[in-house]
Amino acid sequence: MTDSLYALLESRFPNDRSKVLLETGDGGTVRYGEAEAMATKMARALSDLGVNKGDRVAVQVDKSSEALVLYLACLRAGFVFLPMNTAYRPDEVDYLVGNAKPAAIVCRPADEETVRGIAAKHGAPHVLTLGTDGSGSLVEAANAAPVDFPAVPCGGDDLAAMLYTSGTTGKPKGAMLTHRNLAANGLDLVETWHFSADDVLLHALPIFHAHGLFVAVHCVLLAGASMIWLPGFKREEVVRLLPRATAFMGVPTFYTRLLDGDDFNREVCAGMRLFTAGSAPLLAETHEAFQARTGHAILERYGMTETGMLTGNPYDAERRPGSVGFPFPQVEVRVTDDQDRPLGTDEIGGIQVRGPNIMKGYWKLPEKTAEEFTADGWFRTGDIGRIDDRGYLFIVGRAKDLVISGGYNVYPKEVESVIDELPGVVESAVIGVPHPDFGEGVVAVVVPEGDGAPDEDAVIAHCKEHLANYKTPKRVFFVPELPRNTMGKVQKAQLREEKATLFRA
Ligand SMILES: Nc1ncnc2c1ncn2[C@@H]1O[C@H](COP(=O)(O)OP(=O)(O)OP(=O)(O)O)[C@@H](O)[C@H]1O
């Protein structure tokens, strides 16, 4: 008996292994049977080097079909897959390698020399390379290995993957995800979102993050479905290939970019049954514009690296713009006060979650882990929200974004919503920056649209009309666009840094 995620996935693979698992945008294909055989050979090659069950395999490579096969190989062998953001610079890789102590590092061929230096410094025994065209020493070693490596039995509690998160608040922490965590969440999603063997998912997300790696890939594998595998999000490619797909998963910026041209329309989406969004809040107006253009209501869901997916708008009932919907079947969600006491309908507090999907803890940080869980096993997400009388969850902000001005709590999301109502405003980001009197002063950064955009005084006047004075921005700045990372998250830390000395005498 094994609770290995690999065993579960394999049990769901189509009987006919000649079915296409993925197709690359330029017509190349990988069949289920080929992926299985190659994963076996890669597992064998890494194992022959001395990588053992429970060892971390750190990976910083561009998206390719081989990179996906490497993930499967690690699951098969019981290695802990540790994907790294492709944008990480050597210092960041150095930190992660020093912290995670991987037995092997797989990197882009061009980074080999740098990574070898990092590996030597931290005693990581093996460095292998993987290029986007299937080149590199990892594939060479796998090609030379026999198709002979029985799947390693794993317990539900054994680690399957480790993803580093929250670089925005200090040093990144490794979220330890077990076979049970990933399996439970994957099964919830496949069922809730009605994935079947007939689905074709257009995959344009990165795979170093939970969204593209777990949410998207597990839905496909657990349903025995297929995917079109793009190296990244390119608007023209997505518009070209959508007519061949049934499902698409994106971060909000994917959707605003798709809407940015008339060639994206109902016809392109005729065969689609599901669009999902997450990783960052989807603006209600994007949701509405998308529905008007395509007839599809984007299904917004909410999750975290540490927890997998937590809630989502319903598949069969109303998908409400601005809400992140209901808990997935195996997930419990509550909103609490500072003392972990559950709050009532529409009361705003910390979002806490519980279920088989919640991580085991932060790697080598037992104290930090203990802080994030209540005594009875609820995980503190750090997000702030409310649940309405129909059970829909709304995210109001993030605890780490909270601004405390003159002793009062200001939830940036509330102020942003008021500013965003103004004609001529595309979107806004509200931050707190050091202020000599108030501790923190509220500052708004606004993206204007067209000629009718309001000026600083107009934004402040509008806020004063709808919000208490302490919530009203003291200053307003205009920028052509907000700084975002690859997952579409607004980089508030960067904005705070830019404005850090604004109120200094
Ligand atoms: N649909 C959504 N609406 C609003 N916020 C969301 C949504 N989905 C995810 N989020 C936000 O993303 C957070 C989870 O993001 P993630 O685990 O990627 O790391 P992070 O905390 O943003 O930090 P880092 O990117 O530095 O790792 C959630 O806690 C929530 O704040």
What single DSSP character describes residue 401?
A: G
**Averaged over 431-435, what is the pLDDT?**
92
pLDDT of residue 166: 66
pLDDT of residue 407: 81
Instruction: Using only the alpha carbons of the chain, give its radius of gyration.
Output: 23
Ligand 1 centre from 102 Cα, in Å? Answer: 26
Q: Is the pLDDT of residue 439 over 90?
A: no
pLDDT of residue 437: 84
Tokens of 61: 């490579």
Q: What percentage of the chain exceeds 70 in pLDDT? A: 99
> Hey, which bits of 65-186 come out as E strands?
80-83, 104-107, 126-129, 159-165, 173-178
pLDDT of residue 169: 55
Query: What DSSP assignment string belongs to 313-374?
Result: --SSS---TT--BEE-TT-EEEEE-TTSPBP-TT--EEEEEESTTS-SEETT-HHHHHHHB-
Q: Is the CB of 489 inside a 6 Å radius of any atom of ligand 1?
A: yes
pLDDT of residue 485: 87
**Averaged over 96-108, what is the pLDDT?**
98
Ligand 1 pocket mutation pick from 189, 306, 307, 383 by most atoms within 8 angstroms of CB = 383
Q: Is the CB of 167 inside a 6 Å radius of any atom of ligand 1?
A: yes
Q: How confident is the model at residue 113 (pLDDT cuts 50, 70, 90)?
A: very high
Ligand 1 centre from 492 Cα, in Å? Answer: 13
Spatial contact of 2 and 153, defined as CB atoms under 8 Å apart: yes
Distance of CA 66 to the CA centre of its chain: 21
pLDDT tens digits for 381-413?
999 999 999 999 999 888 878 898 888 888 898
Q: Is the CB of 398 inside a 6 Å radius of any atom of ligand 1?
A: yes
Ligand 1 pocket mutation pick from 163, 185, 357, 395 by most atoms within 8 angstroms of CB = 395
> Hey, which bits of 84-212 come out as E strands?
104-107, 126-129, 159-165, 173-178, 200-203
**Averaged over 15-20, what is the pLDDT?**
98
Ligand 1 centre from 250 Cα, in Å? Answer: 14
Q: Is the pLDDT of residue 168 over 60?
A: no
How many Cβ atoms sit within 10 Å of the Cβ of residue 467?
18
Q: Tell which atom from ligand 1 comes closest to the C-alpha of 324.
A: 1
pLDDT of residue 39: 98
Please tell me the residue having the least CA distance from ligand 1 atom 20.
Answer: 166
16-25, 160-169, 458-467: which has the minimum mean pLDDT?
160-169
Q: Is the CB of 308 inside a 6 Å radius of any atom of ligand 1?
A: no
Q: How confident is the model at residue 1 (pLDDT cuts 50, 70, 90)?
A: low
List, in order, residues 6 or more apart from 236 with CB less than 8 Å away: none
**Averaged over 328-344, what is the pLDDT?**
97
Please tell me the residue having the least CA distance from ligand 1 atom 13.
Answer: 304
Ligand 1 centre from 126 Cα, in Å? Answer: 33
pLDDT tens digits for 231-276?
999 999 999 999 999 999 999 989 999 999 999 999 999 999 999 9
Ligand 1 centre from 425 Cα, in Å? Answer: 24
List, in order, residues 6 or more apart from 333 with CB less than 8 Å away: 310, 311, 327, 351, 352, 353, 387, 393
pLDDT of residue 170: 64
Please tell me the residue having the least CA distance from ligand 1 atom 25.
Answer: 166
Instruction: Look up the ipTM and state it.
Output: 0.95
Which residues, in sequence order, are bridge partners of residue 184?
none
Q: Is the pLDDT of residue 63 over 90?
A: yes
List, in order, residues 6 or more apart from 412 with CB less than 8 Å away: 397, 401, 402, 403, 429, 430, 431, 432, 492
Please tell me the residue having the least CA distance from ligand 1 atom 12.
Answer: 279
**Averaged over 59-65, what is the pLDDT?**
97
Ligand 1 pocket mutation pick from 168, 211, 255, 279 by most atoms within 8 angstroms of CB = 279
Task: Indicate the Cα dihedral angle 323, 302, 499, 484, nearest 10°.
Answer: -110
Ligand 1 centre from 372 Cα, in Å? Answer: 16
What single DSSP character describes residue 213?
A: I
Going from the C-alpha of 187 to that of each of 181, 286, 359, the distances in angstroms are 10, 29, 16
Q: Is the CB of 372 inside a 6 Å radius of any atom of ligand 1?
A: no
Q: Is the CB of 324 inside a 6 Å radius of any atom of ligand 1?
A: yes
CA-nearest of 386, 488, 501 to 427 is 488
Which residues, in sequence order, are bridge partners of residue 177?
161
Q: Is the pLDDT of residue 65 over 60?
A: yes
Work out the mean pLDDT of the chain and round it to a whole number.
95
List, in order, residues 6 or more apart from 154 with CB less than 8 Å away: 2, 3, 4, 5, 6, 53, 78, 160, 179
Q: Is the CB of 179 inside a 6 Å radius of any atom of ligand 1?
A: no
> Hey, which bits of 204-272 come out as E strands?
226-229, 247-250
> Hey, which bits of 185-340 come out as E strands?
200-203, 226-229, 247-250, 274-277, 299-304, 308-312, 326-327, 332-336
Domains and CATH numbers, the chain: 5-13+26-177 (3.40.50.12780), 402-498 (3.30.300.30)
pLDDT of residue 277: 97
pLDDT of residue 505: 62
Query: How far is 243 from 269, CA to CA, in rounded Å?
Result: 6
Query: How far is 29 from 32, CA to CA, in rounded Å?
Result: 10
**Averaged over 200-218, what is the pLDDT?**
97
What single DSSP character describes residue 490?
A: B
Q: Is the CB of 401 inside a 6 Å radius of any atom of ligand 1?
A: no
Spatial contact of 433 and 499, defined as CB atoms under 8 Å apart: yes
Category of 488 on φ-ψ map: left (φ > 0), alpha (ψ -120 to 50) or beta: left
Q: What percentage of the chain exceeds 90 in pLDDT? A: 86
The CA-based diameter of the chain, rounded to the nearest angstrom, is 72
Q: Tell which atom from ligand 1 comes closest to the C-alpha of 306.
A: 17
